[in-house]
Amino acid sequence: MSAIHLVNIIKSYDGKTKVVEDINVEIQEGEFFVLVGPSGCGKSTMLRMIAGLEDITEGDLFINGNKATSLLPHERNLSMVFQNYALYPHMTVEKNITFGLYKQKLSKSEQKKRCDEAAEMLGLTPYLQRKPKALSGGQRQRVALARAIVTQSPICLMDEPLSNLDAKLRTKMRSELRQLQRLLGITMVYVTHDQTEAMTMADRMMILNHGQIQQVGKPLEIYNQPNNEFVATFIGAPPMNVANMKVIDHTCVLSDHITIPLPHDVDPTASYAKIGVRAEDITLASENDYLFTGEIVNVEILGTETLLTFAIDEKNQWLAKLNGQWDIQIGEKVPLSIESHHIHLFDEHGQTMFQSKKKAVSSYQVKDALPKEKLL
Amino acid sequence: MKRKINKKRITRSSFGAGMLYLLPSILLFGIFLFYPMFKTLYLSLFWTDTQGNPVQYVGLENFMYLFESPSFMTSIKATLLFVLYTVPVGIVLALILALLANENVKGIGFFRTMFSSTIGMSVAASSVIWMLMYNPAIGIFNKILSAIHLPELQWLLDPDYALISVAISTIWMNTGFSFLILLGGLQNIDERLYENARIAGVGTWYKLRNITLPMLSPTLFFVVTVSIIGAFQSFGQIDILTGGGPMESTNVIVYAIYKDAFINYDVGLASAQAVLLFFCILFVTILQFKIGERRVHYQ
């Protein structure tokens, strides 16, 4: 049974413009589901509709199979973590964590027990008697998490919970949050504008733009088979390289000197308007796969990889990502190659017309490739 | 060496620039606040002639006289009662109105304007209106009383009711200000705190006690302090409504000062009362800050 089921959900504030349009999605029990999109895409509105903090203009919401469209927030049996944590500054950490627990008809000792457990889990025990003001950003974040955990609600909603933390702590909390969710087995609906967070944390994710679903699926599926140009350029860092092109003689012509042959399984008669190539699919050419020469305008060396920026025409630049460290100078002319089955083709509306299937290497494939004795 | 001199010059010139910036307020405060304050302190130690010129140094005799004067004791009692009548009721009323006006419903702007409108009325003008309403013959209060078959009252002429009547009109006059400040404080409270409470499902009363009031405490503290000081210093409405009567029942200290200085021409005695009032307000304010500090939650 799905934990949360949204059926034809529409949200409109003024009755004319729709902020969220016709959303249909099922979120499974115990799933880490991420809503991701640029700011103003309606992802927070959707979360708040699930929470009951915003009315649903049209459509139905089911929680654990029961209709919840017009239930009050506290009748939905869920917890929520806010972006700014929404801690009560005048209460101690302990009071903050146990806030509202009395509504669940729990005795004082039971409240205390749950609070201690949650605090233990999140390493807050030494701070229980402090006020939020005396905590660091990361600790406050944990208090907000603890407050969601103590309710023992099966569903937890999170509205950009990590966006107020610094980059290092954010990376750490990503992994912690994910482990915590697995440990407790709760269904998590997580809103973020950060595609890295979505990619790294989600079991499944939904990409929203202008209030419309762009794609729902597992992170890698979405990365490898984006539905359209928006998803292709939104997911992935650096974003997918996209350029306008024409198909002439079974070849994509990007500019005077850049042409990429179409893969043989592509229907050459369909209308293609744009080509997309992931940065890691552009490689340094060897003698037999040389395709074009790129004049390098910028080089970023990150230690494990090297990012090359080169111009494809007067206005547009593409990025190539090479593994390892490459000593390439700005202004250098570098021979580049793209394997034709790595390209994505879009029509003039940005809908994906062609892309080849690509899958992650599974662990047994790795095992097969190794001699048996090395695995032991 | 050279550097040191330069540094000194910079310090001196920046001190001059600082003083220049301060000059307007220093001038205003000096002429209208500090000078009169010290002059009052000085005069309170003298017998004065009818022009207010010091005639003879008498030390603390003016103060000794005041502490033995039954009229001054009545003044103190009236002042304290006046503070007691106006401040708590006024703030609770303004708080209730602010809580109502903080709800987001259609047309709330109209009510917000109405509730804060008394801020735009001068004390003199509103006092005249209230005087008409208190009028025993044509006032609306007695009309209402007689309409529901209750005995009519001599609102401003009965020593038992005069102070309460003045207090009621004062509460009305102060509501707009307190309301506006409290509404501002309420709107500053993070909406997420209430949303979290909605998800937890706590009741309205619990929210008021555990979120609204603590979060509003700095604002409330400000309003209480300003209201108390304001109540101690009320003058206009008393001058217009009762003139300190009947039987000195509304003769609060500020009014007594005014009478002693400008009707009885005893400036020395009036100054002594002003000094006592000053220390009284100072004491209450310090006390408030001492107590308040423990109860107020600044974010």
- How close A52 gets to chain B, by Cα (Å)? 8
pLDDT of residue A259: 86
In chain B, what is the greatest distance between 2 CA atoms, to the nearest angstrom?
A: 92
> A141-160 as b/e, with b when 16 or more CB fall inside 10 Å?
bbbbbbbbbbbebbbbbbbb
- Please check whether residues B213 and B273 belong to one and the same domain: yes
Among A322, A324, A325, which residue's Cα sits nearest to residue A335?
Answer: A322
In terms of CA atoms, which chain A residue is nearest residue B296?
A: A90
Contact between chains at B198 and A103 (C-beta distance less than 8 A):
no
pLDDT in tens, A165-207: 888 889 999 998 999 999 999 999 999 999 999 999 999 999 9
Domain check: are B107 and B207 in the same one? yes
- Selected for mutation to probe chain A from B196, B207, B220 (highest A CB count within 10 Å) is B196
- Residue that wins the pLDDT comparison between A105 and A204: A204
Residue B275 lies in a domain: yes
pLDDT at position B82 is 94
Condensed to tens digits (0 to 9), the pLDDT of residues B159-174 reads 888 999 999 999 999 9
CA distance A279 to A211: 28
Are residue B37 and residue B161 in the same domain, yes or no? no
* Strands (E) located in A210-332: 212-217, 241-244, 246-248, 251-253, 259-261, 274-277, 282-284, 292-301, 305-311, 317-323
Could you tell me if B39 and B85 lie in one domain? no
Phi first, then psi: give them for residue A338, nearest 5 degrees. -135, 125
User: Does B192 sit within 8 Å of A86, measured CB to CB?
Assistant: yes
Q: How far apart are CA A183 and CA A2, in angstroms?
A: 19
Phi/psi at A72 (nearest 5 deg)?
Answer: -70, 155
Q: Are residues B125 and B189 in the same domain?
A: yes
Residues B26 and B139 in one domain: no
> Would the pLDDT of A367 be above 90?
no
Tens digits of per-residue pLDDT, B76-130?
A: 999 999 999 999 999 999 999 999 999 888 889 999 999 999 998 899 999 999 9
Instruction: Say yes or no to pLDDT of A1 above 70.
Output: no
Residue environment code for A184-196, b if the CB has 16+ CB neighbours within 10 A, otherwise e:
eebbbbbbbbbbe
Is B75 part of any domain? yes
Quick check: B193 contacting A, CB < 8 Å? yes
Any domain includes B138: yes
Q: Which of A53, A79, A133 is closest, CB to CB, to B198?
A: A53
Counting one residue from chain A and one from chain B, the pairs whose CB atoms sit within 8 A come to 63
CATH of the domain at B224: 1.10.3720.10
Pairing of strands A2-12, A18-28: antiparallel
In this structure, the answer to whether residues B7 and B89 fall within a common structural domain is: no
What is the rounded average pLDDT of the residues A327-356?
Answer: 88
* pLDDT above 90 for B158: no
Nearest to A103 among B190, B202, B214 (CB): B202
Mean pLDDT along residues A48-75: 92
Scan residues 215-274 of B and list those with Cβ closer than 8 Å to A.
Answer: 215, 217
Flag whether residue B293 sits within 8 Å of chain A, measured between CB atoms: no
Asked if residue B161 and residue B279 are part of one domain, the reply reads yes
pLDDT band at A373 (very low <50, low <70, confident <90, very high): low
Residue A305 bridge partners (DSSP):
A323
Whether A326 has its CB under 8 Å from any CB of chain B: the answer is no
Domain presence at residue B136: yes
Residues from chain B that touch A73, judged by Cβ atoms under 8 A, are 195, 198-199, 201
Task: Give residue-wise pLDDT tens across range B221-245.
Answer: 889 989 999 999 899 999 999 888 7
Q: For A5-15, what is each residue's pLDDT tens digit? A: 999 999 998 88
**Strand segments (E) across A203-281:** 204-209, 212-217, 241-244, 246-248, 251-253, 259-261, 274-277
pLDDT at B1: 46
Q: Looking at the domain assignment, is residue B107 inside a domain?
A: yes
- Cross-strand pairs, A216: A206
Residue B141 lies in a domain: yes
Candidate from B196, B210, B299 with C-beta closest to A86: B196
**What digits encode the pLDDT tens for the residues A330-343?**
999 999 999 888 88
Instruction: Tell me the mean pLDDT in the region A264-290.
Output: 86
- Among residues of chain B, what percentage have pLDDT more than 70? 96
* Amino acid type, A281: D
pTM for this model (two decimals): 0.81
Phi, psi of B296 (to 5 degrees): -95, 135
Q: Is some CB atom of chain B closer than 8 A to the CB atom of A74?
A: yes
Residue B128 tokens, joined: 């005249």
- Secondary structure (3-state) at A35: strand
Chain B residue numbers with beta carbons less than 8 Å from the beta carbon of A156 are: none
Same domain? B158 vs B105: yes
Using a CB-CB distance cutoff of 8 angstroms, which residues of chain B are in contact with residue A79?
199
Instruction: Tell me what the pLDDT averaged over chain A comes to.
Output: 89
The Cα B159–Cα B177 span in angstroms is 29
For A295, the token pair is 């004049």
Q: How many structural domains is chain B composed of?
A: 2
- How many alpha carbons lie under 13 Å from residue B220 in its C-beta half-sphere? 21
Which residue type occupies A261? P
Could you tell me if B7 and B127 lie in one domain?
no
Quick one: pLDDT at residue B139? 86
The tokens for B12 are 């001196």
B32 and B82 share a domain? Answer: no
pLDDT tier, B13 (very low <50, low <70, confident <90, very high otherwise) = confident
Same domain, B138 and B263: yes
> Could you tell me if A124 and A146 are in contact, meaning their C-beta atoms sit under 8 angstroms apart?
yes
Residues of chain A positioned with their CB less than 8 A from the CB of B202: 99-100, 102-103
Question: Has the ipTM of the complex gone over 0.85?
Answer: no
Q: Could you list the residue range(s) of the whole structural domain that residue B25 is in?
A: 2-43
In a domain, B257, yes or no: yes
Any chain B CB within 8 A of the CB of A89? yes
Q: Is the dihedral of CA A95, A101, A106, A111 positive or negative?
A: negative
- Give yes or no for a contact between A254 and A291, defined as CB atoms under 8 angstroms apart: no
Scan residues 45-74 of B and list those with Cβ closer than 8 Å to A: none
Overall average pLDDT of the B125-138 stretch: 90
pLDDT at A351: 87
Contacts B297 to A, Cβ<8 Å: 89-90
* B192, B199, B299 ranked by CB distance to A89: nearest: B299
Contact A232, A224 (CB under 8 A): no
pLDDT for A53: 93
Q: How far is CA A79 from the centre of its chain?
A: 21
pLDDT, tens only, A238-257: 899 999 988 888 888 888 88
**Residue A190 pairs with which residues in a beta bridge?**
A34, A158
